[in-house]
Amino acid sequence: MWRVPGRADGAADPSLAEALGTLHARASLFDPARAVLMARAPGRLDLMGGIADYSGGLVLEFPIRQATCVFAQSCEARRLTILSLVSDGAASSSARAPKMVSISLDALTPAAGPLEYARARAWLGGDPEQAWAAYVAGALVVLQRERGRLLSRGANLLIHSDLPAGIGLASSAALEVAALETLAALTDTPLGERELALLAQMVENLIVGAPCGVMDQLTAVAGRAGCLIEILCQPAEARGHIPIPSALEVWGLDSGIRHAISGADYGSVRAATFMGYRMLAEEAGLAVTVDADSGRLRVDDPLFGGYPANVSPALWRARYRDVVPVALDGATFLERYGGTTDAATVVDPSRTYHVRACTEHPILEHERARRFRELLSTGATQEAGRMELGQLMYDSHASYGACGLGSDGTDRLVDLVRAAGPAAGLYGAKITGGGSGGTVAVLARRDCGPAVVEIASRYERETGRRCEAITGSSPGSRAFGVRHLEPSLETR
């Protein structure tokens, strides 16, 4: 058995107690006479900003109660062994599906030098049944390549999570961050908050292969319980924390429709955004060159700094909107413009992209996020201000749909919240994260949880899909810290 020396705060946290129970139930993975490291990173609800993060937008993210814990201990065997017990169902489900992967440390850290990212991606993701381990093993590859840190011995890792995958709560970022925290501790690698988030994003982009922005990782690292974290994604600047006013509360509603951030919808929307940015650069007369090493385009951009979100809504409407076509096929775009500046996506010649809507989204979303922040910072004490917050969420949700990232389930949940409205204490709702299913974020008056739960019940009756109501908040990995769980006296 292990205990947390001098730390009583976890005892009153049921989810932390459950994670420790998992550790003790799987104690055979570890040497009972030695300390175990523990890191914890939460999921998030995206209140405003969402996919504008890869465009340099302002995002406002809420760290939730559900989280991923990683326990780690070095071992003599030169292997990285990872045992995962992750919830397969809704957020409150305690069901776990054990999965284990064991990887030779010599294969993961070859004598010739750290693995190239493309090779690591092909190797770790080659077996669909074991591809989940890339989020953890990939963290070690990134530490090797970016910081030159190697494990001197093998390691055993146990993953416990009550954060379901595929419902828009940033489960992958939570896993990457918690794994990096423990592996950095095992390799004596000091990491700052921003660096940790960016390294976790590299795991997702370069090894897992999902073209995500950085908001999920930075929230998992630097979030504060009960607050929105304000992030300017140019590329990753945490500007502070905005407390949710005492009269308001944030909820999530799981639509029961799963999505994958690495899927075509999210990637094609991101690609279309940078296609639009390339057209803006042409219209603005910005110099475009080809990078000799990567073959990607580079834009000398003193106007917008390379970020589509920095185009003002007024300038977009007056000068650029009509230049960007509603839709364009990839072959025509590549023939005219040669490519994009985005390292995480590739334009498919055979695909047609909704270029205008996808380019417009981050421009208007950046402005919506700034107004949302302003209203919350003044306390949103007046009913008119709360209703404006809600309208900003509804506008954001509609913009997601225009990009092609909606779903019938999330649309129905938003419609149900809107129909109940302020009379029921419900001000706004929007899809979260990468879209195409997943979870809807809801802004409600603090005493109106029963109205949110009733909407979940009505949705279940209509659709036959389970709809979990998600509530509560918790801190990011840095506030939690990497904890050294000491063996109890009887096991020493």
* pLDDT of the residue at 428: 98
**Is the pLDDT at 490 greater than 60, yes or no?**
no
Highest-pLDDT range among 44-53, 259-268, 360-369: 360-369
Q: pTM for this one?
A: 0.92
Task: Express each pLDDT in 326-339 by its tens digit.
Answer: 999 999 999 999 99
Q: Please, where in the chain does CATH 3.30.230.10 lie?
A: 2-49+62-245+475-491
**Is the pLDDT at 178 greater than 90, yes or no?**
yes
Asked whether 487 and 35 are in contact (CB, 8 A), the reply is yes
CATH of 249-260+361-470, one of 2.30.42.10, 1.10.10.10, 3.50.50.60, 3.30.70.890: 3.30.70.890
Q: How far is CA 414 from CA 115, 258, 346, 431, 437, in A?
A: 45, 17, 32, 8, 12
* pLDDT of the residue at 11: 40
What is the distance between the alpha carbons of residues 130 and 143, in angstroms, rounded to a whole number? Answer: 21
Task: Give the type of residue at 365.
Answer: E
- Picking from 135, 45, 27, the residue whose alpha carbon sits closest to that of residue 86 is 135
**Is the pLDDT at 92 greater than 60, yes or no?**
no
The predicted model gives 285-299 an average pLDDT of 89
State the Cα angle at 286 between 316 and 318, rounded to 5°: 20
Asked whether 405 and 51 are in contact (CB, 8 A), the reply is yes
In whole angstroms, what separates CA 126 from the centre of its chain? 23
Q: Please, where in the chain does CATH 3.30.70.890 lie?
A: 249-260+361-470
pLDDT interval class at 317 (50, 70, 90): very high
- The overall average pLDDT reported for the chain is 90
Q: How far is CA 369 from CA 236, 240, 331, 360, 374, in A?
A: 16, 14, 34, 14, 9
Q: What is the CB neighbour count within 10 angstroms for residue 454?
A: 15
* pLDDT of the residue at 484: 92
**Is the pLDDT at 94 greater than 60, yes or no?**
no
Annotated active-site residue 322? The verdict is no
pLDDT interval class at 166 (50, 70, 90): confident
Which range among 150-159, 321-330, 390-399 shows the weakest confidence by mean pLDDT? Answer: 150-159
Q: How far is CA 336 from CA 235, 282, 329, in A?
A: 28, 10, 11
**Is the pLDDT at 88 greater than 90, yes or no?**
no
**Is the pLDDT at 228 greater than 90, yes or no?**
yes
Task: Express each pLDDT in 199-216 by its tens digit.
Answer: 999 999 999 988 888 899
Q: How far is CA 59 from CA 48, 370, 393, in A?
A: 6, 9, 12
pLDDT interval class at 9 (50, 70, 90): very low
The token pair at 72 is 């780690």
**Is the pLDDT at 299 greater than 60, yes or no?**
yes
CATH level 3 topology of 2-49+62-245+475-491? Ribosomal Protein S5; domain 2 (3.30.230)
* pLDDT of the residue at 8: 40
% pLDDT > 90, the chain: 73
* pLDDT of the residue at 41: 97
Q: What is the CB neighbour count within 10 angstroms for residue 66?
A: 23
**Is the pLDDT at 106 greater than 50, yes or no?**
yes
* pLDDT of the residue at 91: 40
What is the distance between the alpha carbons of residues 341 and 332, in angstroms, rounded to a whole number? Answer: 17
Catalytic residue among 46, 53, 162, 216: 216
